Structure 1
Amino acid sequence: MRLPLDDVLVHALQVGSPPSWEDAPAQFQPDLAALDRLSDDDLWRIMRSTQLNQNWSRHHELLEENANGTITPSGRAELERLRTEADRFVLRKAHAAALLRWRGQQGLHNTR
């Protein structure tokens, strides 16, 4: 935050502690913990990021195959990988938003 310690302490007393990553699944905790050290600009980049449409389309295809019972073992492994990537993506965005809010950023439609 690059603020004097007194300002950080006052802010913490006013709004509470920063969002915790410890409630997230263990496999995502190190990645979420690393977000705490990013600049606001880097957090905004994460907030504005989007998943690749190709992965999203493939994920839906595999979900449909799974629902129909036609998914192959390699498709099941790919589905699990894509699901994990999607979960990571969503958790990173949510944690970045919570950190920005805690740091006093106004609104999530910042256009920097």
Structure 2
Amino acid sequence: MLVETVTLQIPEILYQRLVNTARATQRPLEEVILHALQTGSPPEWDDVPEEFQADLAALDKLDENTLWQIANSGKTSAEMERYNTLLEGNSSGTLTEAERLELMALRHEADLFMLKKTQAAVLLRWRGHRVPTP
């Protein structure tokens, strides 16, 4: 196989994401860059609301085992029951101010939870793993 050397200027943010992936996967940077050229750049996270971007960006630095834990994580039945109770109270207009604030916090937490699960799965796929769809 013939090999060519190329000097290329890339945006700092993309370079850093490739470096983070190389460290997290314990692979040489050159191998990660070649993979990116063959399959495309790492999955984006900048199209989600700004309040979640830092949490999603942090996933780039995680190793595969940690990403698998996030991708396979779930909420407990107690957490889901409380959330559903608050949703029902909200629908019927019976929530106290404290419960409304709790519901808002739980909704934010649920959004972040699902975004992280999805991003972890997408990163695992990008890194070459087979990730079953639910």
Q: Do the two structures share a fold, i.e. TM-score over 0.5?
A: yes
Residue of structure 2 equivalent to 1:68: 92
Counterpart amino acid of residue 78 in structure 1: E
Separation in 1, partners of 2:131, 2:74 = 19
Query: 5+ unaligned residues in a row in structure 2: which ranges?
Result: 1-24
Task: Normalising by structure 2, report the TM-score.
Answer: 0.76
CA contact (8 A) 2:45 2:57 kept: yes
Q: Deviations over 1:65-88 (max 9, x none)?
A: 111111111110010011011111
Q: Does 1:22 align with 2:46?
A: yes
CA RMSD of aligned residues (A): 1.4
Q: Report percent identity of matched pairs.
A: 50
Q: Which residue of 2 aligns with 1:82?
A: 106
What SS is found at the alignment partner of 1:36? helix
Q: Which runs of 5+ in 1 are unaligned?
A: none
* Structure 2 counterparts to residues 1-112 of structure 1, below 5 A: 1-108=25-132
How many residue pairs match? The answer is 109
Question: Could you tell me the TM-score, scaled by structure 1's length?
Answer: 0.90
CA apart distance, 1:31: 0.9
Q: Deviations over 1:49-79 (max 9, x none)?
A: 1112212111111111111111111110010
Higher RCO, 1 vs 2 (CA within 8 Å, ≥6 residues apart): 1
Instruction: Flag as ranges the 4+ runs of structure 1 deviating above 3 A.
Output: none
